[in-house]
């Protein structure tokens, strides 16, 4: 597995890193996000959406209560937040796994809830606090 380590010192830097990463993504990418509550997952995704689809970051919010937000821009982004997902099978019974092959970019917060079922080529972004405003961000690619 290839990994890249980054350190950001503000929400703006985290968002900027997300935008740079978003510009590298192709349609069909699945990106799994890991990290504690408040680690910066949504902030990173705001940048990712802006970088990959030219959508204003103010239009991007975590879909905590409805599990999925869809952003239509230069590319379609499917933004999942599985924090409130009671059981992994509910993700699949709702047909959400079909978005993995829908041609857009899937961003999955709290991906550990379905980790065993993610596609083999899923990219992972792990965020953790290393200070009040600083975050360690590891971006990895699993090889099929």
Summarize pLDDT for 1-20 with one digit per residue, the tens: 689 999 999 999 999 999 99
- Domain count for the chain, please give it: 1
Q: Which pLDDT belongs to residue 139?
A: 97
138, burial (CB in 10 Å: exposed 0-12, middle 13-18, buried 19+): middle
Average pLDDT over residues 81-108: 94
Q: What is the CATH number of the domain that holds 50?
A: 3.40.50.300
Q: Which pLDDT belongs to residue 58?
A: 86
Q: Which pLDDT belongs to residue 14?
A: 97
Please tell me the distance from the alpha carbon of residue 131 to that of residue 79, in angstroms, as a whole number.
27
Contact 75, 52 (CB under 8 A): yes
Residue 40 structural domain: 2-141
Please tell me the distance from the alpha carbon of residue 21 to that of residue 41, in angstroms, as a whole number.
13
Closest C-alpha to 82, from 102, 58, 111: 111
Average pLDDT over residues 58-65: 81
């Amino acid at each position: 597995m290839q990994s890249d380590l980054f350190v950001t010192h503000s929400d703006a830097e985290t968002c900027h890193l997300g935008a740079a990463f978003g510009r590298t993504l192709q349609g069909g990418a699945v990106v799994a996000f890991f990290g504690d509550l408040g680690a910066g997952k949504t902030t990173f995704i705001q940048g990712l959406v802006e970088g990959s689809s030219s959508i204003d970051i103010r239009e991007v919010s975590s879909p905590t209560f409805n599990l999925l937000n869809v952003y239509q821009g230069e590319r379609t982004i499917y933004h999942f937040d599985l924090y409130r997902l009671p059981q992994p099978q509910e993700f699949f019974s709702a047909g959400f796994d079909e978005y993995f092959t829908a041609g857009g970019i899937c961003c999955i917060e709290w991906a550990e809830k379905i980790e065993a079922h993610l596609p083999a080529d899923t990219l992972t972004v792990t965020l953790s606090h290393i200070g009040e405003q600083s975050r360690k961000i590891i971006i990895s690619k699993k090889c099929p």
